[in-house]
């Protein structure tokens, strides 16, 4: 299974093509739109999301709501394009409009200009922008529907916003409730504190990042590999999380904590319960030796604060070489809820890729039949 995305942030639309889906998978378009709209929301989002109303249009690969096993192509239109056509149109545009040379620290602007031999960071940021992640949410929701056909569910919540952290453990069944909350947090007190922090940062023209936890429930053991480094499930899932704009750190299970504790406090002891092997702790985050071990998969990712600060950081104008304040027209103060949805989506897609490689199968009945035969 493979997803290719295309599209600029202020271009006509975002596009994606998924190859490798089996036939007869029922595609729930309303669910895709629900995740697209969840990705747009959350406390701290800025002006752009008042313009966009993301909806998927499936262009090929699905007939009467079922996959055909042919490439599934889809589009998500950018409503903002009509405000940008004059400077973005492929058919001819005035590229002197909306030039950006006051490169933003933390964004792709400067390195991208140099690498791609440009003089305008617009040619870089349009693709580096997190707008691209709408296409990954579409792909991820389709992957979620594939996994659900096997009894595997993906969920998550926001654990931390700019230092305000919920350190409690939450059962998988509680997690979906987070999506009805303004910051996708499960601790009301922490959430109120985090919202106040976002308000304060907004006043100061500053931005916030955070930490998201993603959990995967119901996956049988044995997905991934201890034989080939490139097929290790933890490596693949972490690469997927790290591929999301603004992610600077990822953890599995106890994560960085394993380096601070003795082995007896880290490794999950094994018990036999009702003929099944179980662990009573899950510090490994459901993955041992690069393979799923049948426990819940637990992943965490840290999102850096948005690099467009309304107060502007010190930088250099690429056009003049003179010191200046970095560009800012409009920005989100926090996009941690969007990040949570995106991370669930990319984790679902990476897992669906690994599952489909192991199981193969041309139609979903065949895939499920093979999955059910596994111990």
State the Cα–Cα distance between residues 183 and 191, nearest whole angstrom. Answer: 7
Contact stretch for ligand EPS (CB under 6 A) within 110-118, 122-130, 235-243, 265-273: 122-130
**Residues 6 or more apart from 147 whose CB is under 8 A from it?**
153, 154, 348, 351, 352, 355
Instruction: Determine, following the binding rule CB under 6 A, whether residue 50 of this chain makes contact with ligand EPS.
Output: no
State the Cα–Cα distance between residues 196 and 191, nearest whole angstrom. Answer: 9
Q: Which is nearer to ligand EPS, 135 or 250 (CB)?
A: 135
Give the binding-site size for ligand EPS (rule: CB under 6 A).
Answer: 13
Element housing 5 (H / E): strand 2-6
Q: Which of 298, 310, 304 is nearest to 339 (CA)?
A: 304
Least CB distance from residue 44 to ligand EPS, whole Å? 11
State the Cα–Cα distance between residues 311 and 308, nearest whole angstrom. Answer: 9
Touching ligand EPS, residues 322-361 (CB under 6 A): 330, 332, 338
Q: Which is nearer to ligand EPS, 125 or 194 (CB)?
A: 125
Contact stretch for ligand EPS (CB under 6 A) within 44-52, 149-157, 283-291, 309-317: 44-52
Least CB distance from residue 97 to ligand EPS, whole Å? 14
Least CB distance from residue 374 to ligand EPS, whole Å? 38
Touching ligand EPS, residues 53-92 (CB under 6 A): none
Least CB distance from residue 333 to ligand EPS, whole Å? 11
Which residue of 134, 238, 254, 334 would you call a contact of ligand EPS, by CB under 6 A? 134
Contact stretch for ligand EPS (CB under 6 A) within 89-97, 128-136, 181-189, 259-267: 128-136
DSSP secondary structure string for all residues of 20-38: -PPEEEEP-HHHHHHHHHH
C-alpha distance from residue 83 to each of 126, 145, 366 (Å)? 14, 35, 48
State the Cα–Cα distance between residues 301 and 307, nearest whole angstrom. Answer: 17
Distance of CA 101 to the CA centre of its chain: 28
Angle (CA) 38-173-21 rounded to 5° is 60
Binding pattern for the stretch 250-289 against ligand EPS, x by CB under 6 A and - elsewhere:
----------------------------------------
State the Cα–Cα distance between residues 78 and 54, nearest whole angstrom. Answer: 8
Which residue of 48, 102, 197, 232 would you call a contact of ligand EPS, by CB under 6 A? 48
Q: Which is nearer to ligand EPS, 131 or 232 (CB)?
A: 131
| 8 A C-beta contact, residue 224 and residue 350 | no
Residues making contact with ligand EPS (CB under 6 A): 9, 46, 48, 52, 125, 129-131, 134, 308, 330, 332, 338
């Amino acid at each position: 299974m493979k997803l290719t995305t295309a599209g600029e942030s202020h271009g006509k639309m975002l596009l994606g093509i998924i190859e490798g889906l089996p036939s007869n998978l029922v595609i729930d378009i309303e669910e895709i739109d629900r995740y697209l709209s969840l990705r747009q929301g959350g406390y701290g989002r800025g002006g752009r999301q008042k313009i966009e109303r993301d909806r998927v249009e499936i262009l090929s690969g699905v007939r009467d709501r079922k996959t055909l096993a042919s490439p599934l192509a889809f589009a998500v239109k950018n409503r903002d394009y009509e405000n940008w056509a004059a400077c973005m149109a492929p058919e001819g545009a005035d590229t002197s409009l909306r030039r950006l040379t006051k490169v933003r620290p933390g964004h792709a602007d400067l390195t991208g200009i140099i690498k791609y031999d440009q003089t305008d960071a617009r040619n870089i940021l349009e693709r580096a922008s997190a707008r691209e992640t709408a296409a990954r949410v579409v792909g991820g929701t389709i992957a979620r529907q594939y996994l659900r056909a096997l009894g595997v569910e993906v969920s998550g919540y926001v654990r931390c916003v700019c230092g305000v952290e919920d350190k409690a453990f939450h059962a998988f069944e509680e997690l979906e409730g987070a999506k009805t909350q303004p910051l996708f947090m499960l601790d009301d007190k922490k959430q109120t504190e985090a919202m106040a922090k976002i308000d304060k940062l907004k006043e100061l023209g500053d931005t916030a990042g955070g930490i998201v936890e993603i959990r995967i429930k119901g996956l049988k053991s044995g997905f991934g590999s201890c034989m080939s480094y490139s097929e290790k499930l933890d490596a693949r899932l972490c690469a997927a999380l790290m591929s999301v704009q603004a992610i600077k750190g990822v953890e599995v299970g106890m994560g960085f904590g394993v380096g601070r504790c003795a082995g007896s406090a880290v490794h999950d002891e094994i018990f036999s319960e009702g003929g099944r092997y179980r662990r009573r702790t899950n510090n490994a985050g459901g993955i041992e030796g690069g393979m799923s071990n049948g426990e819940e998969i637990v992943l965490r990712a840290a999102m850096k604060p948005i690099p467009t600060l309304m107060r502007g950081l010190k930088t250099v104008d690429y056009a003049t070489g003179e010191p200046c304040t970095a560009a800012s027209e409009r920005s989100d103060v926090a996009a941690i809820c969007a990040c949570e949805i995106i991370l669930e989506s990319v984790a679902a897609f990476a897992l669906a890729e690994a599952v489909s490689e192991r199981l193969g199968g041309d139609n979903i009945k065949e895939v499920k039949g093979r999955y059910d035969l596994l111990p």
